[in-house]
């Protein structure tokens, strides 16, 4: 739904004219410029594109893991794949559907008032996607499963396995200046994630409500760590193709979308970690407020 909403919104944004570009007239033969020239319209479109393509990469990776879990001849490989599938399952369910809601809403917004009426079908994409966040288990339950059972339940062992994948990419591309805008924020979050998880684990031992209060934010941070890894890998492949002389715009588009993702979406992890660290008191010590 994110993909089809994006494709519809992209076509509309190229055709719909309104206002002039802030940096000067772009369509001199028209009474106004296409709305795709406006920064916030591009932000909405690129948000949908980044979440759709990042989600697709994660889903394909999980499919590969499932094949390894079921059919690989090496028992150790099967076990590792099974553990990674278990770790990533709540992220696939919750992070992708949360992102789908954000993206389909953004694509409806591109249409302005037109998007809210049935004529264009955009509101139906929003409605159809919204239920995905509610289907069992709800995204809150998925977040509790991730933090409480999949990560704290085994002292972060499975998270460390995924961390090794991230670490290998960082080690491989850490000195590549072209990859710095992707690798540096990913490396920083990977380092912070270890400290963040340990801190929440200690707080949860003292008060289980601390896990409940932090879980939704934690899952979103973990989701960005996973997406960041895949977007960095996609940028890596695309940059290598471009360097080899491949002029297919597909690869340039991947680099540009990765750049947008790391610049505009990935940074929300800082706010999410701060919110999670603020604990449960502001939620649970509220009997008067909720009387």
Taking the C-alpha atoms of residue 160 and residue 222, their distance in angstroms, rounded to an integer, is 12
Taking the C-alpha atoms of residue 254 and residue 271, their distance in angstroms, rounded to an integer, is 26
Q: Is 222 exposed, middle or buried (0-12, 13-18, 19+ CB in 10 A)?
A: buried
Active site residue 83: no
Burial 5-22, CB ≥16 within 10 A → b, else e: bbebbbebbeebeeebbe
First to last CA, the chain: 40
Q: Which of 83, 119, 136, 210 is catalytic?
A: 136
Say how far residue 116 (Cα) sits from the centre of its chain: 25
Taking the C-alpha atoms of residue 283 and residue 288, their distance in angstroms, rounded to an integer, is 11
Both structure tokens of 161: 């396995």
Nearest to 147 by CA among 136, 160, 156, 137: 156
What amino acid positions are annotated as catalytic residues? 136
């Amino acid at each position: 739904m994110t993909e089809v909403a994006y494709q519809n919104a992209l076509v509309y944004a190229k055709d719909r004219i309104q206002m002039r570009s802030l940096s000067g007239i772009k369509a001199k033969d028209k009474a106004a410029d296409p709305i795709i020239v406006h920064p916030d319209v591009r932000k909405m479109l690129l948000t949908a594109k980044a979440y759709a393509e990042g989600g697709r990469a994660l889903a394909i990776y999980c499919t590969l893991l499932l094949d390894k879990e079921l059919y690989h001849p090496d028992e150790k490989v099967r076990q590792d794949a099974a553990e990674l599938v278990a770790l990533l399952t709540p992220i696939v369910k919750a992070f992708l559907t949360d992102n789908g809601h954000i993206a389909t809403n953004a694509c409806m917004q591109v249409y302005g008032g037109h998007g809210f009426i049935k004529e264009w079908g955009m509101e139906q994409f929003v409605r159809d996607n919204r239920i995905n966040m509610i289907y069992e288990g709800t995204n809150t339950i998925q977040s509790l499963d991730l933090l409480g059972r999949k990560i704290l339940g085994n002292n972060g062992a499975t998270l460390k396995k995924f961390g090794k994948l991230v670490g290998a990419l960082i080690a491989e591309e850490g000195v590549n200046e072209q990859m710095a805008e992707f690798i540096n924020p990913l490396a920083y979050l990977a380092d912070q994630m270890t400290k963040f998880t340990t801190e929440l684990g200690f707080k949860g031992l003292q008060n289980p409500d601390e896990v409940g209060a932090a879980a939704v934010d934690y899952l979103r941070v973990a989701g960005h760590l996973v997406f960041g890894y895949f977007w960095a890998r996609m940028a890596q492949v695309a940059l290598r193709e471009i360097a080899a002389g491949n002029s297919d715009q597909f690869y340039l588009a991947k680099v540009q979308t990765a750049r947008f993702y790391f610049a505009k979406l990935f940074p929300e992890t800082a706010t999410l970690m701060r919110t999670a660290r603020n604990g449960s008191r502001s939620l649970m010590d509220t009997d008067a407020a909720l009387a």
